[in-house]
Structure 1
């Protein structure tokens, strides 16, 4: 009996030790930042850019980069990137929006690129709201598009739920970060331990602008089914765009992805007169003959 008690206590001790370790190292596991020196010069071929530094109320510096379209601007895309590298590398994706006539603003989260400050979910949300407010000083909200890629999809959804942008575009979004990490550590109490739960599904229900979700069917990191579930939360405002064969990091390599962006950015939604459709027609059940 004493042997079993000792074994159980040992297992429990190991479990608690792993949980404590996981709590403290999760920043290193979740985030893969690339840090840049203060004097680093951004340079993109055939792209006009301007660098910004925004000081937050706690003294952190949020570094951002604005990409300009050729010709008259249709608005601003606030591009919230994934969890790796810095805007140095992510900047090459700005062309997918500047070619459609949009300014693109990319920012590095705390600890990424030239951005400084202690990172937390609350701090990042606060930083991004300050960035949004700064953009709002220069243009109206009906010209602001929020684009969230992977990790950035949760933050973009939160921003959209608190503001009134023109639209929200989510690229490979997660239902919640707790769900994603839970696939790899199903026996850990992540709902308690995770400092970045990022419950996209909770915030999505409060979004009042058009929502476009883009996801690849072969995404191994964030399953396609997560976007199917998300698309059902605020269904009247949401359209799900499926990239057949697309993975987590290669949607930009698919022609269908760029056609989807073209439709999203350049096609005004049409109002359908449902009274002229078959929406109220119900398929009749198959009738069976009654026996005499």
Structure 2
């Protein structure tokens, strides 16, 4: 075969792979929703740079939870979790990443890390490290670990953690499995290395998005693991056991 034809075929394949990879990372990783759902509580709305978030202030507490949500919806879709954390005696701060809810911008892996770091820097102006708890949900778990390690925070809760995008693709029966090595984003193991704080892992044995057995690859980094039931989006969270873990860790 003519060398020029071979080069053109290879070039075309590389271009197609690049386009597919770019499209998947832009439009499949994230499923943001701009419109808020109606809420039960009255939140203090804040804007920090381009980031919009909510604060549920607990006047009787000097502790705060920074909530890093998952890949879909916006901050209004997790209100039941904020209320439970508030009942535990925490002020709850939640925020939307770039491109989610009322926060401007375009989401990307690095952008999520930068958004969370910016919010945590703001929190640290008011709260000491020992009084800050990071709660990560799904894709928000790599984000939570990233900022916890970067700012040397001592306590993290990981709910249904995404181990990596590659792991999710490998679990699906689709053509992307052939090039899953290109999707090495949100690799939580990379950020668990070197983290010295305590981690509570919550994961459902029924999870249809992130298989339960995938978490065994990170178990040696986990302080305590509590199995759950329910789907990835609607797990049955054992809030009483979370409270016990927090009490034991303080």
Q: Distance in 2 between matches of 1:93 and 1:9?
A: 54
- The answer (yes or no) to whether the contact 1:142–1:164 under 8 Å persists in 2 is no
Matching of residues 91-170 of structure 1 within 5 Å: 91-170=79-158
Aligned-pair distance for 1:20?
A: 2.6
Give secondary structure in 1 for the equivalent of 2:163: coil
Partner of 1:264: 245
Partner of 2:225: 240
Q: Distance in 2 between matches of 1:104 and 1:268?
A: 20
Give secondary structure in 2 for the equivalent of 1:164: coil
TM-score, length of structure 1 as denominator length: 0.75
Among 187, 199, 208, which residue is 1:199 paired with? 187
Larger Rg: 1
Q: Distance in 2 between matches of 1:139 and 1:223?
A: 36
**Can you list the C-alpha shifts for 1:156-210, whole angstroms capped at 9, x where unaligned?**
011111112230110011222222223332211x433x3x711100111221111
- The answer (yes or no) to whether the contact 2:62–2:127 under 8 Å persists in 1 is no
Give secondary structure in 2 for the equivalent of 1:187: helix
Is 1:24 equivalent to 2:22 in the alignment?
yes
- The answer (yes or no) to whether the contact 1:35–1:113 under 8 Å persists in 2 is yes
Partner of 2:51: 62
Count, aligned residues: 243
Gaps of 5+ in 2: none
Is 1:50 equivalent to 2:35 in the alignment?
no
Q: Distance in 2 between matches of 1:227 and 1:48?
A: 36
**Can you list the C-alpha shifts for 1:113-166, whole angstroms capped at 9, x where unaligned?**
010123322222122111101000011010000110001001001111111223
**Can you list the C-alpha shifts for 1:74-115, whole angstroms capped at 9, x where unaligned?**
411111001111112223320110011101111101100010
- The answer (yes or no) to whether the contact 1:91–1:106 under 8 Å persists in 2 is no
Is 1:33 equivalent to 2:32 in the alignment?
yes
